[in-house]
Amino acid sequence: MIKKWWHDKVAYQIYPKSFCDSNGDGIGDIRGIISKLDYLQDLGVDIIWLSPCYSSPLADQGYDISDYYNIDPRFGTMEDMEHLIKEAKKRNMYILMDLVVNHCSDEHEWFKKACEDPDGKYGKFFYLRDKDGDKLPTNWRSCFGGPVWEDLPGTNKQYLHIFHKKQPDLNWENPELREEVYKNINWWLDKGLGGFRIDAIINIKKALPFRDYTPDREDGLCNIGEMLKDAKGIGEFLGEMRDRTFKKYDAFSVGEVFNEKPEEIPDFIGENGYFSSMFDFNEASFGQSIKGCYDAKQITPDDYKNCCFEAQKKIGNIGFLSNIIENHDEPRGVSHYIPQGDCCPESKKMLAALNFMLRGIPFIYQGQELGMENIEFTSIEQVDDISTLDEYQVALNAGLSPEDALKAVAKFSRDNARTPMQWSDTLHAGFTTGTPWLNVNPNYTRINAAAQQNDPDSVRSFYKKLIALRKNPDYKETIVYGSLEPVWREQHNLMAYYRTGDKTLLVIGNYQREYQKITLPTPYKKILINNYADLAEENNAITLHGYQVVILEM
Ligand code: TEU
Ligand code: CA
């Protein structure tokens, strides 16, 4: 395997709107990010992925871009962005921006021009179809509810939007559109970016010609996944994009890829793959229901283990997954993956170690290093996110009471991860001096960075130790490139695996509140990580406390 600069890195995702507000308007901004670079460096972070901060009406919090060449004034200026890249570089850190090119905003110039002249150049930048009375071109459901078709203002046409109606899909079949995309990517890479996280990229290829699929809900529509399964030939677009952009800069690219087919993995992330890496969503998507998130199945510790191992097996040593516990689209991992009632510093550390030691590139989402938890919603009024609001409606339509619908969607709401970062126990968690755009989780008095930074036993200090271990010259080779082999896979509520390279490491997590005894095949040499002060042992057997995790050198 040819070594790449990103293989041994640790990445951190920032959701700019909720990270740090420098000017008191209640919205996080780039200057706020710059003020926290030392905090991130202290943690050991190398790569920072910024969720979008381009010009945007923020209908989907910046995933609806109205100008790819500008920073939204709410987040700062282009000078701020250049300053951020420079300040990061000083600290040997790389900045990734979010590449959102499946769609733009309906307030983008291209879309406005398409409305003015749907048969002209810019009409061809989108998927437009002639209106045919009440009949829609297809019965596909958009990801945020309702059909994917919307009237193109001022015309007799309709446009396609896989996401919100303020996010019209761009037509990748049109080479002129692709040129525009590549030009923009290179323009940013010329500014010194380390690369991109690539949004919703699997959606850029549509199955043509358009056709209906079997409806899966009362609304007569079908999940967009049906069409995507049918779409062939995305590789031509992705390979072209790689060659025209990332490859020339040796840039890091990580794709938001769902439902890839096993035989496609080498093309996606093998040597000379379309991307440097792609996210593992196997755990996050476990239990999802076609009916909506009110019908989702709760994941158990054994499911979690199996999801991780399946993903690891699928990738093997073909390339590098990017491993996450959460992101801005998911509930907080500690609230989601730890059985109810058991969320505590020990279990949070266990989850951290089990995920962090997997083969791949670890991504930490802001606040994850503090063990930030889901927020309690007492009313749907407190929810801002368009996806959650849609899921609430879906739950009501399915017959749930407003109370049950709220409970059901609150567990999965994307706003759980979007509450402001908890910096301190002062007003608004130190996120802003003004009024935060989204409520701060009231547990900030207990869970915050200031309290954890100097506490050697905090969740954050544990993350620091995991990061330091990954960078330790004695273990780095094994942790980054070593193989992964599950062990005691059938043992209930136990997740354990070997990482084998020039060293042999054994990661063992007792994924339950009761203790658990394990007989080691050979004596260990050294305890590298332990989330408890002790390790109970007798001959070759160890007894782990509830949620104890250890990393042993064998
Ligand atoms: O997410 C793509 C995606 O598939 C998600 O919509 C996911 O299914 C959903 O969030 C579940 O709640 C990306 C971004 O990460 C997300 O924030 C954007 O809303 C979306 O693309 C559209 O740009
Ligand atoms: Ca601000």
The answer to whether 162 and 102 have CB atoms below 8 angstroms apart is yes
Query: Ligand 1 centroid vs 404 CA: distance in angstroms?
Result: 24
Domain boundaries defined on the chain: 11-102+175-385+417-461, 109-160, 480-553
pLDDT digits (tens, 9 = 90+) for 322-346: 999 999 999 999 999 999 999 999 9
CA-nearest residue for atom 5, ligand 1, is 329
pLDDT of residue 124: 98
pLDDT digits (tens, 9 = 90+) for 233-258: 999 999 999 999 999 999 999 999 99
Ligand nearest to the CA of 101: 1
Ligand 1 pocket mutation, candidates 60, 143, 412, criterion most atoms within 8 A of CB = 143
pLDDT of residue 385: 97
Ligand 1 pocket mutation, candidates 61, 163, 170, criterion most atoms within 8 A of CB = 163
Question: Any residues with CB less than 8 A from the CB of 279 and at least 6 apart, and which?
Answer: 254, 255, 256, 257, 321, 322, 324, 327, 363
As annotated, the active-site residues are: 199, 256
The answer to whether 297 and 306 have CB atoms below 8 angstroms apart is no
Ligand nearest to the CA of 29: 2
How many residues are present in the chain?
A: 554
The full DSSP string for 275-327 is: SSEEE--TTTTTT--TT-GGGPPPP-HHHHHHHHHHHHHHHTTSSEEEE-S--
pLDDT digits (tens, 9 = 90+) for 299-322: 999 999 999 999 999 999 999 999
Query: Ligand 1 centroid vs 60 CA: distance in angstroms?
Result: 9
| pLDDT band with cut points at 50, 70 and 90 for residue 550 | very high
| Pocket of ligand 1 contains residue 223 by CB under 6 Å | no
Question: Any residues with CB less than 8 A from the CB of 313 and at least 6 apart, and which?
Answer: none
In terms of Cα–Cα distance, which of 142, 400, 93 is closest to 252? 93
| Pocket of ligand 1 contains residue 337 by CB under 6 Å | no
Query: Ligand 1 centroid vs 329 CA: distance in angstroms?
Result: 6
Residue whose token pair is 């755009």: 437
| Pocket of ligand 1 contains residue 387 by CB under 6 Å | yes
pLDDT of residue 260: 86
| pLDDT band with cut points at 50, 70 and 90 for residue 86 | very high
Is the pLDDT at 261 greater than 90? The verdict is no
Is the pLDDT at 190 greater than 90? The verdict is yes
Ligand 1 pocket mutation, candidates 54, 63, 328, criterion most atoms within 8 A of CB = 63
Q: Which fold has domain 11-102+175-385+417-461?
A: TIM Barrel (3.20.20)
| Pocket of ligand 1 contains residue 199 by CB under 6 Å | yes
Helix (H) or strand (E) holding 85: helix 78-90
| pLDDT band with cut points at 50, 70 and 90 for residue 386 | very high
The CATH architecture assigned to 109-160 reads Alpha-Beta Complex (3.90)
Indicate the Cα dihedral angle 510, 511, 512, 514, nearest 10°.
Answer: 0
**Residue 344: Cβ within 10 Å count:** 16
pLDDT of residue 251: 98
**Ion ligand 2: residues, Cβ under 5 Å:** 21, 23, 25, 27, 29
pLDDT of residue 259: 84
pLDDT of residue 111: 98
Residue whose token pair is 């890496």: 277
- CATH, range 480-553: 2.60.40.1180
pLDDT digits (tens, 9 = 90+) for 116-126: 999 999 999 99
| pLDDT band with cut points at 50, 70 and 90 for residue 99 | very high
Handedness of CA 82, 87, 89, 95 (dihedral sign): negative
Is the pLDDT at 262 greater than 90? The verdict is no
| Pocket of ligand 1 contains residue 63 by CB under 6 Å | yes
Amino acid at the residue 489 = R
Amino acid at the residue 352 = A
Query: Ligand 1 centroid vs 330 CA: distance in angstroms?
Result: 10
In terms of Cα–Cα distance, which of 72, 66, 81 is closest to 30? 81
Average pLDDT, the chain: 97
CA-nearest residue for atom 2, ligand 1, is 200
Report the alpha-carbon distance of residue 551 to residue 554 in Å, rounded: 9
The answer to whether 498 and 504 have CB atoms below 8 angstroms apart is yes
pLDDT of residue 227: 97
Amino acid at the residue 347 = S
The full DSSP string for 188-239 is: HHHTT--EEEETTGGGGPPPSS-------STTS-B-HHHHHHH---HHHHHH
Query: Ligand 1 centroid vs 238 CA: distance in angstroms?
Result: 19
Amino acid at the residue 279 = F
The residues that bridge with 12 in the sheet, in sequence order, are: 48, 364
pLDDT digits (tens, 9 = 90+) for 452-462: 999 999 999 99
